[in-house]
Amino acid sequence: MSVSGVSSEERSDFTRLENRRLRQRSIALFLSLAKPFSWRIALSGVLVVLGTLTSVAGPALLAIGIDQALPALTNDRDWIPTLMVVGGYIASGIFGGVFISTYIRTSTRVSQGILFNLRLRVFRHTQRLSMSFHESYTSGKIIARQTSDLDTLREFLDSGVEKLISGVLYMAFTAIALIALDPPSMLPVVISFVPVFFFAWWFSTASKKAFRISRVYSARLIVQFVETMTGIRAVKAFRREEHNERTYGEQVDNYRYANQKVISLFGIFDPGLKLVANIVMAIVLLLGAFRVLDGGMEVGVLLAAVLYVRRIYDPVNDLAMFYNSLQSAGSALEKISGVLEEEPTVAEPSTPTSLEHPRGSLDLTAVSFSYVAGRPVLPALDLHIPAGQTVALVGTTGAGKSTLAKLIARFYDPDAGSVKLDGIDLRDLSNRDLRGSVVMVTQEAYLFSGSVIENLSLGKPDATLDEIEAAARAVGAHEFIMSLPDGYETDVNKRGGRLSSGQRQLLSFARAFLADPTVLILDEATASLDIPSERLVQRGLQTLLADRTAIIIAHRLSTVSIADRVVVMEHGRVIEDGTPADLIAGTGTFSTLHKAWRESLA
Ligand SMILES: Nc1ncnc2c1ncn2[C@@H]1O[C@H](COP(=O)(O)OP(=O)(O)OP(=O)(O)O)[C@@H](O)[C@H]1O
Ligand SMILES: [Mg+2]
């Protein structure tokens, strides 16, 4: 009995159940993916059987050719058997080719179709999932799902399954042909399969372990690479290059060593199999030679038997690898189905309440919220914001201002209490109504690759060029946009690399301007602007905010001058609430803050 009162038996029961659940989940996903292709899968099955059958015919035809057709030709000048064998060879070549090529086309359609659907499904689903998922599931993991896991599946579908089926069929048909042709020659093969089985078992287990280690190292390599490159500024600022080089070098070395091990296993297994095949071939040849001498066996049959024996070991390699590829595909499918199983925590209601003419009044009633259970960020917050009011939300770092903003934008739902827009709970609004009414601009100001126009029209997809320019002028972004190499057509590159953070903020302002929401939330949205730019934005803001509800979060108190009301937060609670004039005149936190701020300006 362990301390927690859960015995190790119970725990292993639990693990077993959990494993079974994971396996069932993966299988269910796979079946749902395969379902639309069922007739193509059946057709592939028929084609691969026919194709393999024709490819096994060769040595048998050779035996007939040597033992029957040749004597008929030399003794009786009878060409017919020879021509029939030749015809059979050509026909098996043609039919085999047609079967196999049709099979490849059909099965590729299936595997690529499955992957296509899965890729889209994973993307759509990950994008649909709520912020809470994306904050806990790192982007590295999401990248791995879309890349290496899907690649593993692709390998499995493209070659793993095919090799298993054609390999098994090939061995079975070859064995049947050999038994039909000359049963005694099968005996050494059967005996040899005992050591071959154990040899393949050893290889399968050892390579599984080696592959797993290699995959772990490869994943570590990718993680370190991505982290270094996305954090390249910090790397350079803190001169971490040498340290990174050293640790990366170690990882590369581990990876190299792991790969060497994998390849050296093949270096033992492949020649080992060849050796077995050659020994058995030699035995069959030797025994056959005695029987030919006795007249108990014909030369053609011996030749065909030797050829069959040589071929029967060919698929063993692939079969030993199949288990491996099945295992990795299984674990990839497990991880992918795990993502697909996640449900958006902030889900769209099935029957939304429509919001015809939003006015923008906000009501937060007894809202409590925690990111981590047991550590409430907002204990119980009440706040009423009438339509059209501009509220400055201030407070110390970590007070919960951004959290409050995210609840109003419904990136999260409160644990208890409600957030209402015009009296309707946000949870009852359609995404369309919600996103159309509430827009949040943050300090991050993310820009997508594409032109300035494309980035701005995100706010209003059908905006005309004039509207876009008017929005840019309103926030004072027009001038710097015109100074860019291609003006509004300039590609802002990945992560807006070519723009300064202040310029990016101006663009995301213009974007919000275009979107024209009823409720606008600015979270530190002017933090990167210089004083003149901020003034410019503020002048624009005054007109922008005139007919809508706005919540402005800012550390620079200059913003407060355009607000109707100031709300001061501390540890997730509202500690002061009033007009700027009242609060400044009072003796509370805000008046102290404001005095300090005025002095800092002087
Ligand atoms: N995604 C998250 N997961 C867990 N805790 C979080 C998360 N985001 C914020 N917190 C915690 O919630 C508290 C409030 O954070 P919040 O971002 O709302 O503060 P803030 O008032 O906006 O601060 P700042 O002025 O620095 O922006 C902090 O203690 C923070 O550590
Ligand atoms: Mg914040």
In this predicted structure, the answer to whether residue 65 has a pLDDT above a threshold of 50 is yes
In the chain, the percentage of residues whose pLDDT exceeds 90 is 28
DSSP codes, 261-278: HHHHHHHHHHHHHHHHHH
Among 53, 297, 72, 315, CA closest to 181: 297
Average pLDDT, the chain: 86
The phi and psi torsions of 524 (rounded to 5 degrees) equal 55, 35
pLDDT of residue 551: 93
In this structure, which residue's CA is closest to atom 24 in ligand 1?
Answer: 397
Please choose from 133, 136, 138, 377 the residue to mutate so as to test ligand 1's pocket, defined by most ligand atoms within 8 A of CB. Answer: 377
Give the ligand with the smallest distance to the CA of 568. Answer: 1
Could you tell me if 309 and 185 are in contact, meaning their C-beta atoms sit under 8 angstroms apart?
yes
pLDDT of residue 4: 52
Give the ligand with the smallest distance to the CA of 399. Answer: 1
569 — pLDDT class (breaks 50, 70, 90): very high
Higher pLDDT, 540 or 240: 240
Instruction: Report how far ligand 1's centroid is from the alpha carbon of 201 (Å).
Output: 54
Please choose from 402, 555, 556, 573 the residue to mutate so as to test ligand 1's pocket, defined by most ligand atoms within 8 A of CB. Answer: 402
pLDDT in tens, 195-207: 999 998 898 888 8
Instruction: Report how far ligand 2's centroid is from the alpha carbon of 443 (Å).
Output: 9
Could you tell me if 358 and 516 are in contact, meaning their C-beta atoms sit under 8 angstroms apart?
no
Q: Which amino acid is at 274?
A: K
Model confidence, pTM: 0.75
In this predicted structure, the answer to whether residue 420 has a pLDDT above a threshold of 90 is yes
pLDDT of residue 194: 92
pLDDT of residue 497: 46
| CB-based burial, 212-235: b 16+ in 10 Å, e otherwise | ebbbebbebebbbeeebeeeeeeb
- Kindly give the number of the ligand 1 atom that is closest to the alpha carbon of 131: 1
H-helix or E-strand containing 67?
Answer: none
Give the ligand with the smallest distance to the CA of 396. Answer: 1
Average pLDDT for residues 178-199, to the nearest whole number? 89
Q: How far is CA 509 from the centre of its chain?
A: 32
In this predicted structure, the answer to whether residue 428 has a pLDDT above a threshold of 90 is yes
pLDDT of residue 2: 44
Give the ligand with the smallest distance to the CA of 131. Answer: 1
pLDDT in tens, 443-469: 877 888 888 999 898 888 888 999 999
Which residue blocks in 395-459 are alpha helix, DSSP H?
401-408, 431-437, 452-456
pLDDT of residue 159: 78
Among 212, 217, 287, CA closest to 247: 217
In this structure, which residue's CA is closest to atom 4 in ligand 1?
Answer: 371
pLDDT of residue 209: 86
569 beta partners: 395, 574
- Kindly give the number of the ligand 1 atom that is closest to the alpha carbon of 396: 25
- Kindly give the number of the ligand 1 atom that is closest to the alpha carbon of 406: 18
pLDDT in tens, 284-297: 999 999 988 988 88
What residue ranges do the domains of the chain occupy? Answer: 8-341, 362-601
In this structure, which residue's CA is closest to atom 17 in ligand 1?
Answer: 402
Spell out the CATH class of 8-341: mainly alpha
Q: Taking the CA of residue 92 as centre, how many other CA atoms within 13 Å lie in the half-sphere pointing to its CB?
A: 16
73 — pLDDT class (breaks 50, 70, 90): confident
In this structure, which residue's CA is closest to atom 22 in ligand 1?
Answer: 402
In this predicted structure, the answer to whether residue 399 has a pLDDT above a threshold of 80 is yes
pLDDT in tens, 79-122: 888 888 899 989 999 998 999 899 989 988 998 999 899 989 98
Instruction: Report how far ligand 1's centroid is from the alpha carbon of 430 (Å).
Output: 27
pLDDT of residue 132: 82
In this structure, which residue's CA is closest to atom 10 in ligand 1?
Answer: 371
pLDDT of residue 424: 92
pLDDT of residue 6: 62
- Kindly give the number of the ligand 1 atom that is closest to the alpha carbon of 555: 25
pLDDT of residue 385: 95
Three-class SS of residue 475? coil
Q: What is the C-alpha to C-alpha distance for residues 596 and 580, in angstroms, rounded to an integer?
A: 15
Instruction: Report how far ligand 1's centroid is from the alpha carbon of 576 (Å).
Output: 20
Instruction: Report how far ligand 2's centroid is from the alpha carbon of 227 (Å).
Output: 24
Could you tell me if 150 and 336 are in contact, meaning their C-beta atoms sit under 8 angstroms apart?
yes
Residue ranges around ligand 1 (CB below 6 Å): 135, 371-372, 377, 395, 397-403
- Kindly give the number of the ligand 1 atom that is closest to the alpha carbon of 403: 18
Three-class SS of residue 219? helix
pLDDT of residue 496: 47
In this structure, which residue's CA is closest to atom 14 in ligand 1?
Answer: 400
Please choose from 134, 401, 569 the residue to mutate so as to test ligand 1's pocket, defined by most ligand atoms within 8 A of CB. Answer: 401
Could you tell me if 138 and 219 are in contact, meaning their C-beta atoms sit under 8 angstroms apart?
no
- Kindly give the number of the ligand 1 atom that is closest to the alpha carbon of 572: 14
The phi and psi torsions of 2 (rounded to 5 degrees) equal -90, 175
In this structure, which residue's CA is closest to atom 2 in ligand 1?
Answer: 371
Q: Which amino acid is at 503?
A: Q
255 — pLDDT class (breaks 50, 70, 90): very high
What residues sit around ligand 2, an ion, with C-beta below 5 angstroms?
402
pLDDT of residue 602: 67
Could you tell me if 362 and 383 are in contact, meaning their C-beta atoms sit under 8 angstroms apart?
yes
Span of 353-362, 407-416, 529-538, 550-559 with lowest mean pLDDT:
529-538
Span of 157-161, 206-210, 279-283 with lowest mean pLDDT:
157-161
310 — pLDDT class (breaks 50, 70, 90): confident
pLDDT of residue 363: 94
Q: What is the C-alpha to C-alpha distance for residues 225 and 217, in angstroms, rounded to an integer?
A: 12
Q: Taking the CA of residue 260 as centre, how many other CA atoms within 13 Å lie in the half-sphere pointing to its CB?
A: 6
Superfamily of domain 362-601: P-loop containing nucleotide triphosphate hydrolases (3.40.50.300)
1 — pLDDT class (breaks 50, 70, 90): very low
In this predicted structure, the answer to whether residue 380 has a pLDDT above a threshold of 80 is yes
